[in-house]
Structure 1
Amino acid sequence: MSKYQQISTQDGQNQHQDDSLEYFIRFPTPKNGNGAEQNGTSSEADYVFIHNENTVPIVLLLGWAGCQDKYLMKYSKIYEDRGLITVRYTAPVENLFWKRSSLKVIGEKILKLIYDMNFDAHPLFFHIFSNGGAYMYQHINFAMRRSPRPVQVQGMIFDSAPGERRFSSLYGAISAIYGRHRSFSWLVSFLISATLTVMWLLEDFASDIECFADYRQSKGVFVKKICFEKSEHVKHFIMHPQHYVKCVCRFISDCLASYQASGPSTKID
């Protein structure tokens, strides 16, 4: 029996509250490749990820502002049905808009969770939704950069985030916490390491989100862009379920192949 099966609950899911930090972890039992059928997708998207059972990949999903967990759960199920461990967290709306200084502490707590669960020994992926998820990721990123202990972040998926018009509010939030002496260009370059592979899920190739993706690509980040036509903000999976599952699974699979070929990545710099 694998390590992650041994610490599963009956339904494979645990809800935790740690000093008002509410998150959900699922340690699934693989379903022998039938997960795609449960998600209503074709066999073309039915990926079975190859990995060491002692270092099962982790997908950390960060929800959009106001996201209810029952909706974020639909996305985590994509990965759970294929045998990956998932962590779901959505920052409370009041923290995103009125108690922004608390995000620094939340970011540190999420990093502590990664360490406490020994997830830093696993390949880790972030699946980030809209600006609420981008806000939260930024503070986790700050915490990781301050820590001497490496975290093996292998890839990131941005669903509908972040956009140029919305990014100014992100800068304002970060500046309020860390000080305005840090320039906007410094913050943009700080968001994602050039060593990562990043996928952007867009609703329009002419959108401000694509401008941000293009900027990161110009700085050396390996970027994949997927456009979902006639799709609304954070509704790509609802409008295009089969294509969405195929894209995110192929992305994770490609990143894992690179991880296995080159070994664990180093600390984000």
Structure 2
Amino acid sequence: MTKQPRVESGSLANLARALYSLTPRSTGERLGLSRRRCLLGSSTKQLRRRMILGQFPSKCVVTKPALVADKYSDLIVVLIGWAGCKDAYLSKYSAIYERRGLTSLRYTVAITSRAMRHAHVPARFTTPMMPALRELLRPPSRKILFHFFSMNSMFALSSLLAAYGPNLMDRAQAAVFDSTPAEYSSTFGTVLDFTLPQHFPSAGPLTLAAIKYFVLRLNDLNEYKNSILSALDGKPERREIYYWAGRSARLPKQQLYIYSRKDGVCPHESITAFRDDQISRRGATVSTLFFENSEHVQHYRTYPDLYTSTLYKFIDQIISQ
């Protein structure tokens, strides 16, 4: 019988070596990875940085239509992707706006699981998009239509306000919420399935499973701590992104919600509660496109014509007001 490795409490390096030794070497060989390149074979300093911060590849792209309609010249669209989103996916949404004559900025980034434990996300996650965003907002008359996807975009918004400054929301005229915002702690494991391979690209399947286990346990502790603190001070917006978005982010009051009963990641009941709170608490003007059977962030793929026509109607409402 193979002797199990001994793990000393409090030692991240020893924990990493133990997890790696439990991973069959054939797994790395099948994936074409050498032991030296494997995540848990990295130096202690490198490993600690990856375990704490992870990697967060990002991409920022600005698209401008061939012909900008005069009535849309002062409106730009900022699209922020979901966890695991690639620019090729998000470009299909920016194309909707481009066909309407609107300039768009699309941004993809995977927020690390550590950063997701807080409502206030560091600016470093959205720093790469700052030059392009500031350039687009150079004309003082320019306004923003945000298009958010899933909860990853809510965390990114928190980071964006840290990077640009809270006065950014003074330029926000409207927002589209696709499959968000929702309390999603019960489906956090599903989110990790998308994000961990991006944060730890050299890790094998068993290593990812081990990391996921520890992240979930840390998240459980964090949720428990937050629930106690929120009960004591009555201000969950200080630490929970769902309440931060609704109460502290100063979202624009013209809002469109697109979501589904079948969403297995962000429960529709939670999105509905958020929408209703925006109406009652902030006097938001709300439009809703609700589906019965489309999956999480798959509404456009399932119903492209209805999705597009609803967006165009919403844009016309924005311009008319």
Question: Is the alpha carbon distance of 1:86 and 1:203 closer, same or farther for their aligned partners in structure 2, counting shifts above 3 Å?
Answer: same
Distance 2:100 2:271 in 1: 29
**1:267 paired residue number:** none
**2:67 paired residue number:** 30
Q: Which has the higher helix share?
A: 2
Q: 2:179 aligns with which of 160, 163, 166?
A: 160
Task: Supply the RMSD in Å over aligned alpha carbons.
Answer: 3.5
Q: 1:214 aligns with which of 264, 276, 279?
A: 276
Distance 2:179 2:98 in 1: 22
Distance 1:83 1:167 in 2: 40
User: 1:104-145: per-residue Cα shift (whole Å, max 9, x none)?
Assistant: 233455455322333563121110000111211232245555
- Tell me which stretches of 4 or more aligned residues in structure 1 moved more than 6 Å: 179-182
1:237 aligns with 2:255: no
The question of whether the paired residues in 1 share the 8 Å contact of 2:107 and 2:129 is answered with no
Q: 1:134 aligns with which of 130, 138, 154?
A: 154
The question of whether the paired residues in 2 share the 8 Å contact of 1:59 and 1:84 is answered with yes
Distance 1:206 1:99 in 2: 24
Distance 1:128 1:110 in 2: 15
User: 1:69-124: per-residue Cα shift (whole Å, max 9, x none)?
Assistant: 111111110001111111110113xx332456874233455455322333563121
Q: 1:200 aligns with which of 257, 263, 287?
A: 257
Which structure would you say has the larger Rg?
Answer: 2
Distance 1:162 1:81 in 2: 27
Q: Structure 1 unaligned segments of length 5 or more: list them.
A: 1-19, 32-48, 259-269
Q: With structure 2 as the length reference, what TM-score do the two structures score?
A: 0.57
Greater Cα shift, 137-146 or 20-29: 137-146
**1:69 paired residue number:** 87
Question: Is the alpha carbon distance of 1:236 and 1:29 closer, same or farther for their aligned partners in structure 2, counting shifts above 3 Å?
Answer: same
Q: With structure 1 as the length reference, what TM-score do the two structures score?
A: 0.67
Identity rate, percent: 25
Distance 1:110 1:118 in 2: 12
Distance 2:279 2:96 in 1: 27
- The aligned length equals 213
SS at match of 1:67: coil
Give the Å deviation of 1:68. 1.2
Distance 1:21 1:120 in 2: 26
Question: Is the alpha carbon distance of 1:103 and 1:253 closer, same or farther for their aligned partners in structure 2, counting shifts above 3 Å?
Answer: farther
